[in-house]
Amino acid sequence: MKPPPLIVRRLGEVDYATSLECMRDFTLERTDATPDELWLLQHPAVFTQGQAGRSEHLLAPGAIPVVQVDRGGQVTYHGPGQWVAYLMIDLRRRAYGVRALVERMEKAVVATLGHYGIDAAPDAARPGVYVQGDKIASLGLRVRRGCSYHGLALNVDMDLTPFQRINPCGYAGLEITSMSRLLPEHGFAMDDVGERLIGDLQRELAR
């Protein structure tokens, strides 16, 4: 059976803890008939530590809050100028697993970056999307009752210095980049990039 149409919500800037609670509530309360949803938003500055996260990867968080979360992976940073896409997907209904969803997310990010002339690719050894070894997008999911939540974060035009306060995703020395760092003369409009990312995710999820 074909799943109901995907609902897209453009939520602006949302406190991380608030969005986490909303994702959990949505996943716990949804039924077999609930449409899947894609949320596009930004967060105020926050470090998030995944289920496998180790404290030694938090080098000097300072005044930036640290939130323990139930996604996979280690520590990462969210802040203004970074698009976050949360995917509330019923994997059973779509008849594919977590790895297939991750691959669709990676392909969507690569397609979005390719539209702007940025040659990016996933790395088989590490989650995320990279440009010449530097990480430009992070991925992390949780699956409960066969349904996903959490998602991906794409660095568009943001302050990257907070990444120096952590070992990003648990990798000491991992360089983090952004669209604006790679193409400083472009002048990226956040809304334009966000809409491009939504479109590419919709296309991949429809496959």
* Cβ contact 186:179 at 8 Å: yes
Question: Can you tell me the distance from the alpha carbon of 40 to that of 20, in angstroms, rounded to the nearest whole number?
Answer: 13
For residue 38, give Cα distances in angstroms to 26, 135, 150, 202: 12, 23, 10, 9
**Cα gap 154→56, rounded to integer Å:** 25
Contact in structure between 179 and 118 (CB atoms under 8 Å): yes
Nearest to 101 by CA among 137, 64, 148: 148
- ∠ CA 156-159-163, nearest 5°, is 100
Please pick, among 109, 169, 193, 205, the residue that the annotation labels catalytic.
Answer: 169
Distance CA 151, CA 37 (A): 12
State yes or no: is 22 an active-site residue: no
Q: Which amino acid is at 77?
A: Y
- Residues acting as catalytic residues: 169
